[in-house]
Amino acid sequence: MAPRPRRQPAPGVDPDRPIKAAVLALLFPAPADDPSRAAGEPCLLLTRRTDRVAAHRGQVCLPGGAVDGAESAAAAALREAAEEVGLPRGAARLHGQLTPVFIPVSGFRIEPFVATASVRPLWRPAPAEVEELLEWPVRALLDPTLRGERLRDREGSPYVTPYFAVAGHEVWGATAMVLAELAALLAGLEDR
C-alpha cells in the first residue's frame, strides 16, 4: 500500500533524524444500538483531520502525534488518542506494535500500536484537530473490493497511490500502509 515510486524526503527533512511519533489502531465493539452493524462487531477508529492542523490536513488517519520528550511511543499513542478523540485513561489495552513507517513529506517516523477497548468509548473529538470520526468495521480491512489505486501528480511527476475506500474517503500513504499490515495480521488469525 506504499505509494509508487516512494517519495524522496522533502527539502529539510532528514530521514536519519525523524520526528518521533506514534499512532493508535484502536479496535472496539460496535454498540448494540448501531443499526448498520451487528452488536459487538469489531470496529476500528479513524479520524479525518481538520484543515487547521499543521501537517496532513484533511487526511484520514489513525489518532496519533508526536512523542513528547522522554515519553515512550506507546504512551504517546495513548495520550494522543485521549487528546484527539477523548479516549479515557485505562479504556484501551495495548497488544503490540506494528512496523514503524517514515513519512518523507513531513519527516515523521510513526510507530503504530494496536489496542482494544472492551466497550465502544464515548468519543469527545478535539474540534481543532478532528473534523470527522469514522468507525470502520474491521471486516472491511479484509475486503479486496475496498482497495484501489489512484494516479496522482507530485511536483509534475506521476505516482500511484494505493488506498482503502472508507466511508467516502480514500485512506492512503502511511495510514494505508499501517492498515495493510494490520489486515495481513488479522487475515492470518482468521486462517487459524
Domains of the chain, first to last = 19-144 (3.90.79.10)
Q: Between 120 and 36, whose confidence is greater? A: 120
Please provide residue 65's backbone torsions phi and psi, each rounded to the nearest 5 degrees.
Answer: 175, -165
- CA 163 from centroid of its chain's CA atoms: 12
Please report which confidence band the pLDDT of residue 37 belongs to, taking 50, 70 and 90 as the band edges: confident
pLDDT at 53 over 80: no
H/E stretch holding 79: helix 73-85
Output the pLDDT for position 31. 79
pLDDT at 52: 74
Residue 32 has pLDDT above 80, yes or no: no
Predicted local confidence at residue 149, as pLDDT: 97
Maximal CA-CA distance, the chain: 49
For 55-97, what is each residue's pLDDT tens digit? 656 689 999 999 999 999 999 999 999 999 999 999 999 999 9
More confidently predicted of 13 and 93: 93
**Kind of pairing, strands 157-166 and 19-29?**
unpaired
pLDDT band for position 192 (cuts 50, 70, 90): low
**Whether 27 contacts 116, CB under 8 Å:** yes
Angle CA 41–116–86, to nearest 5: 100
Mean pLDDT across 130-154? 93
pLDDT for the residue numbered 38:
78
Q: What is the pTM of this model?
A: 0.91
